[in-house]
Chains A and B, each alone.
Chain A
Amino acid sequence: MNDPAIRVEGISKSHGAAVALSSVSFAVERGEMFGLIGPDGAGKTTLMRILTSLIDADEGEAWVLGFPVRSGAARVREAIGYMPQHFSLYSDLTVAENIRFFADLFGVAKEARVARTEELLDFSRLGPFVKRRAGALSGGMKQKLALSCALVHTPRVLVLDEPTTGVDPVSRRDFWDMLERLRAQGVTVVVSTPYMNEASLCRHMVFIHKGRILASGTVGEITALFRGTVFSVEGPNLQAISTRLKNAVEPELVRILGDAVQVLALGRSREEVGALLETMRQGGVVSHSREIPPGVEDTFVSLMRE
């Protein structure tokens, strides 16, 4: 019983000549929110498919609740709830029928199914729409239904592949609230996302880039890896500041965030960027600039460039 929810050891996987994952290892504690963070094509989906036993790794092994995914696929599949990246429901079936189908598929007994469906409809606030066909739901509601279907057999581990990609910000926040409630109920939640700002919602995370883990740990542990300085710059015309800075440093290091421009000075470029900002301040373009502590995203940007 002391097994971690998920343990991954030295997983490698290639699709032909393209390496999707190369010796990836990490562990997910039971009952935590765990993030797989990385840009598109980092290997997140491949990793999740290996965890859900949908594909086999070339090398290495992974365990879900102590069951090896390769040889214990049946046990793993019973224990895990999975929401694929391009989840799709049967659009010609109603909300209730979709839930019912997945309940039957996972062999949920009738009484348990009825109670669980009630619970899930309440949880996802899809109650008023039970008789609506899935195809007629809004994007956010479809996603909640997909989550409900993945949860119908009360899995102890929930794996979600980019659940919030392409979802509007309000629904996205709603969805994270739901995940947090599940986690509070003791479900281990593994979620992948390309949105760096969602990373901080996870207790532990790994940052994957080109099939390798570049960093892992808590938010604090990850940001401690940041080598450089983050400047927050304010001024009357943020667009103009951003353009000036992008001409001076690499464009990826500059972004507008809220009512300030953030620029990363990596390595030893702190003095150069500081001098540039001072010049801009004297020219009246910049009204104010200060150093701020790095965020997870800043750290990832810097790690990707190393």
Chain B
Amino acid sequence: MMGSRIPPLARKEFKHILRDPRSLWIIFMLPNVMMFLFGYAIDLDLKDVRLGVCDLSRTPQSRELVAAIDASSYFSVVARCENPEETERLFERRVIRAGVIIPRDFARELERERRATVGIVIDGSDANSASIVQNYLEAFIATHSAGAGGAGEGRAAAGAQGAGAAPLIAARPVVFYNRTLDSTNFIVPGLVAIVMMMLGALLTSVTIAREKETGTMEQILVSPIRPFEVIAGKTLPYLVLAFSIAMMIVAVGHFWFKVPFTGSAAALMLYCLLYLFTALALGILISTLVSTQQVAMMLSLMLTLLPTIMLSGFIFPIASIPRVLQLVSLVLPATHFLVIIRGVMLKGSTLPDLWMHGAALVGIGLILMILAVKRFSLKLGAKGGRA
């Protein structure tokens, strides 16, 4: 008889879930909508950025550079100007997003000093993509000039290891794991983490608040139930629900967004469960603090979405955020899960590789759960304080 109150509570909760098909539909559709919305919207890659070129040099070398830029998939030259002022007008009319100005003495300098300067004009009104355009253009021109220089001299050498071109070689980053630098592979696993955190916290935070709101909590409380039983009985059904949603969106990520899945599915599932455990624990903790569904919903969205997006390394690398916030990111479950899911999906990390992050999730989840159990009072009216 002891401890047997968890199954009936869980069973009842399942019935609530299944008998509300509309909510169930939303619960399943919302993550998909988010996946598609953000999966396509957050595209950090550049494709066919419209360029204006002002070639003042008019030499074979400069024409070669322009042709090379145009041939790349990142840029397409849509306008050729006679003088630099013309590019300005094209900016204002939003015809181009960046301009390349090749100075008069480009070819001469390239011959004489084996290096040349090219002017780049960028529309800074969209700072984020501006810096991406800048990096791409710089990198592109650097590699191109290296290639051109190298070609001029290295033809005779015919050696693959021609070290003579050294002064022209620009730093070329070597990219691992995500060889095409396709941001989808980076973003989609992150989205899975965010959607799971948000949904997990939302689902459980609402469930206890709902019973407080309708008054059924009062009836549950007069029974000899223990806080642990209420919380376990409330969490289990949502763990099952959230887990199936997690599997669904991982599948969407893999099959639709073509994110590779190189690691073991079993490892990911186990870590998914741990991660969901933290999310549900957070939701339960929230619901012990508030008394209406509305507030529970607001609070769980606020506590999950923003910190997870900003501080977990979803978009901004943790190394680039202020030191104090780095500490915050350390206690965010998503920070650890991001390492895990990216590791398992992209790198093929195995279960033991990630044990530290798994342990962190277990720790965070347990602390949240213990807080929730402690905070969950078998007395009414948490606001009245404990006498």
Contact = CB atoms under 8 A, between A and B. Distances in A.
Contacts, number: 75
Nearest to A54: B380
Interface in A54-92: 54-58, 73-74, 77-78, 80, 82, 84, 86-90, 92
B16 interface: yes
B384 A15 contact: yes
Contacts of B379: 53-56
Given A52-B222, A77-B223, A105-B225, A86 B215 contact: yes
Contacts of B15: 92-93, 97
Contacts of B20: 92
A149 B220 CA distance: 11
B8 A54 contact: no
A54 B222 contact: yes
B387 A104 contact: no
A49 interface: yes
Contact of B214 (A73, A88, A104, A149): A88
A105 B378 CA distance: 14
Contacts of A90: 12, 16, 216
Contacts of A26: none
Contacts of A86: 215
B12 A54 contact: no
A195 interface: no
Interface string B367-386: 00000000000111100100
Interface in A140-195: 149-150
Nearest to A16: B384
Contacts of A93: 12, 15-16, 19
A106 interface: yes
A86 to B, nearest CB: 5
Given A74-B224, A93-B15, A107-B4, A56 B216 contact: no
B219 A84 contact: yes
A208 B359 CA distance: 57
B222 A80 contact: yes
B1 interface: yes
Given A87-B219, A92-B20, A104-B8, A77 B384 contact: no
A107 B225 CA distance: 9
Interface of A: 15, 49, 52-58, 73-74, 77-78, 80, 82, 84, 86-90, 92-93, 97, 100-102, 104-107, 109, 149-150
Interface of B: 1, 4-5, 7-9, 12, 15-16, 19-20, 214-216, 218-225, 378-381, 384, 387
28 contacts: A49-B380, A54-B221, A55-B384, A56-B379, A77-B223, A84-B218, A84-B219, A87-B219, A88-B215, A88-B216, A90-B16, A90-B216, A92-B15, A92-B16, A92-B19, A93-B12, A93-B16, A93-B19, A97-B15, A101-B8, A101-B12, A102-B223, A104-B4, A104-B7, A104-B8, A105-B220, A105-B223, A109-B1
Given A77-B223, A106-B224, 8 more contacts: A53-B222, A55-B380, A56-B387, A93-B12, A93-B15, A107-B1, A149-B219, A150-B219
